[in-house]
Amino acid sequence: MESFDGTVFPQKVVAVIWDFDKTLVSGYMQTPLFERFKVDEDRFWKEVNGLPTFYRKHGYELFPRDIGYLSHMLTYVREGIFSGLNNRLLRELGAELSFYPGLPAAFRRLKRHIEEDPRFSKHEIRLEHYIVSTGLRQMILGSKIAKYVDGVWACELLGVTAPANYLTTPPSGNEDADEAELQAVAYAIDNTTKTRAVFEINKGVNKHPTEITVNDKMPLTDRRVPLDQMIYVADGPSDVPVFSIVNQAQGKTFAVYSPKASEQEFKQVQDLQDEGRVMSFGPADYKPGTHTDRCLTSWAEEIAERIASRFQRRLVEHIGKPPEHIVDPMTAGKSAAKLATPPN
């Protein structure tokens, strides 16, 4: 569908983009994985934090700190600690995740609040939820919030890989990708490349993956979701790259902290606002009427009202008025005078 001014997309979408760990859930999503395999979670993350130093000692200067845990997970698989770990099991573990108060109902409520409001529904304005995370995509897809989400960008692991010469010599067997033990990284997203996901949403790559790529040159008026129609919700400094992009484009940025946060955690998000990195912040409590719920709802309404006003103006500008009868002012004046003259 094209808009009145002939652009590719009508730009009628409000996009709420969410981080996952410590934004929607209280800790890290991998916790059920460690519990299932009886692995000490703290020890695992200490090992992950030490990987850059370990690999530098072996001559590897570049190591991805944000997503180094993926290679360490696969090491645990190869060494039999995570024996049999596959994508089916990751989705099962995702179903065990517990969300912050008010979720996932808040996703559904916010969407309905915008789409069922007559002011916005007459213009077919929509609200879409997206998750952009450095966590595991299959766990998010297995969680109870997945059905309320329009897209998920997160790390993907492979159970089946293409062998050498697979184009000319098809591999034997018919291994189920969901059941096969994980062995390689298919897609990784870190704190900086989260911005790529934002631009894919911006340009509509996720809706038209065969026609559009994130690197395609596209005028701002042709992009599916303008950056100023986005609300980005996350928990901390690791999300500064996305906060910065959305802020610069006059979108909305919100930082959350755990309702049970320490003074240090609270100060961390307060500093984000004081430094102008986020517009506002509040507890990760999404129940109706809370500060966070009211703020996100108000912003979604503000963006939707701006979209509605724009399309109302376009309607007036592009739809011509029907011709009217032309009245001679002189004749009209005489007729009025006759009517105003009292009878003898």
Banded pLDDT at 247 (limits 50, 70, 90):
very high
Predicted pLDDT at 146: 98
The pLDDT of 211-228, averaged and rounded, is: 94
State yes or no: pLDDT of 328 exceeds 90: no
| pLDDT tens string 262-277 | 898 899 999 999 999 9
Banded pLDDT at 222 (limits 50, 70, 90):
very high
State yes or no: pLDDT of 286 exceeds 50: yes
Predicted pLDDT at 106: 98
Predicted pLDDT at 248: 96
| pLDDT tens string 176-213 | 889 999 999 999 999 999 999 999 999 999 999 999 99
Predicted pLDDT at 4: 42
Q: 41 and 29 in contact (C-beta within 8 Å)?
A: no
Banded pLDDT at 175 (limits 50, 70, 90):
confident
| pLDDT tens string 121-148 | 999 999 999 999 999 999 999 999 999 9
**Burial (Cβ within 10 Å: 0-12, 13-18, ≥19) of residue 268:** middle
Choice among 133-137, 218-222, 329-333 with the minimum mean pLDDT:
329-333
What residues have CB less than 8 Å from 70, skipping those under 6 apart? 155, 157, 185, 188
Predicted pLDDT at 316: 77
State yes or no: pLDDT of 330 exceeds 70: no
The reported pTM is: 0.89
Predicted pLDDT at 3: 43
CB atoms within 10 A of CB 317: 10
Predicted pLDDT at 8: 82
State yes or no: pLDDT of 333 exceeds 80: no
The pLDDT of 92-120, averaged and rounded, is: 98
State yes or no: pLDDT of 329 exceeds 70: no
CATH class of the domain whose range is 13-27+99-166+174-320:
alpha beta
The secondary structure of the chain, three-state, reads: CCCCCCCCCCCCEEEEEECCECCCECCCCCHHHHHHCCCCHHHHHHHHHHHHHHHHHCCCCCCCCCCHHHHHHHHHHHCCCCCCCCHHHHHHHHCCCCECCCCCHHHHHHHHHHHCCHHHHCCCCEEEEEEEEEEEHHHHHHCCCHHHCCEEEEEEEECCCCCCCCCCCCCCCCCCCCCCCCCEEEECCCCCCHHHHHHHHHHCCCCCCCCCCCCCCCCHHHCCCCHHHEEEEECCHHHHHHHHHHHHCCCEEEEEECCCCCHHHHHHHHHHHHCCCCCEEEECCCCCCCHHHHHHHHHHHHHHHHHHHHHHHHHHHHCCCCCCCCCCHHHHHHHHHHHHCCCC
Banded pLDDT at 334 (limits 50, 70, 90):
low
Tell me how far apart the alpha carbons of residues 199 and 225 are, in angstroms, rounded to a whole number.
Answer: 9
Predicted pLDDT at 54: 94
The pLDDT of 66-93, averaged and rounded, is: 96
